[in-house]
Amino acid sequence: MPANPLDTFTNQAVKVFGNEASREYQRRLKDDRTLCGTHCGSCGRTAFPPRDFCPDCFSGDCSWVAIGDGATLYAFTTQHRGLRFTAPDVIGVVNVPDVGLIVTPLSGRLDELEIGQAMKPEVVDINEKLSTHRFIPA
């Protein structure tokens, strides 16, 4: 199977534009099987995507925290020309307590999903170097 060009370009983009926090995010996803954000010890907000500073109060006092518990489905749709998953590629937005809205791939059929339903995160390995999160009905 030919390599997905997305792999090459994701790796290039990470090298050129990525940041340290997003690399640590990927390591935690891949090695620890945990979806993480960063929690600010100063103002208490949780950032996602994670940062090594707080985008709410600019404090550098940030620590890693697992997120996703208590998530609910906020909106969902499909894309037919997704660059990664085969059609129909179901994606959505979940509302995660203490974090807010997160865009995410979903597992499940479109006609079985419903706004407001309980969701939980899981880790999907794309290849040996790259993983992503997706949410599934809890």
Partner 1 sequence: MTTSTTSPLLAGIGTIPVTRDLQMPIPDACVHVCREALDNAGIPASDVDGLFFTPPAMSGEPWMMFAAQMGEHLGITTKSLSLVENGGITALLALRSAMDAVALGRCKVAVVLASDARPLLDTNHFEAFVRGVAFSAMSLYGPVHGAMGLGAPIPIYAMSHQRYMHEFGVSPEEVALSSVQLRSHAVDHPLAQFRDPITVDDVLGSKMLSPPIHLMQAAGISAGACAVVVASEDVVKATGKPAIACSGYGEHHHPSHFIPRQGSITTFESVRESSAQAFQEAGRSPADVDVAEVYGVFGATELMLYEDLGFCDKGKASKFIQDGRSTFGGDVVINPSGGRMSFGHPAGATPLYEVAEVTRQLRGDAPGRQVDNASVGLVHAEHGMMNGSIVMVLEPWN
Contacts of 83 (CB under 8 A, 6+ apart): 4, 6
CA distances from 86 to 10, 14, 115 (A): 18, 24, 23
Nearer to partner 1, 71 or 102 (CB): 102
Pairing between β-strand 71-79 and β-strand 36-40 as defined by DSSP bridges: unpaired
CB of 122 to partner 1, least distance (A): 14
Scan residues 24-63 and list those touching partner 1 (CB under 8 A): 25-26, 29, 48-50, 55
Q: What number of chain residues touch partner 1 (CB under 8 A)?
A: 49
Contacts of 11 (CB under 8 A, 6+ apart): 129, 130
Answer yes or no whether residue 77 interacts with partner 1 by CB under 8 A: yes
* Footprint on this chain of partner 1 (rule: CB under 8 A): 5-6, 9-10, 12-14, 16-19, 22-23, 25-26, 29, 48-50, 55, 74-85, 89, 91-93, 99-105, 110, 115, 126, 130-132
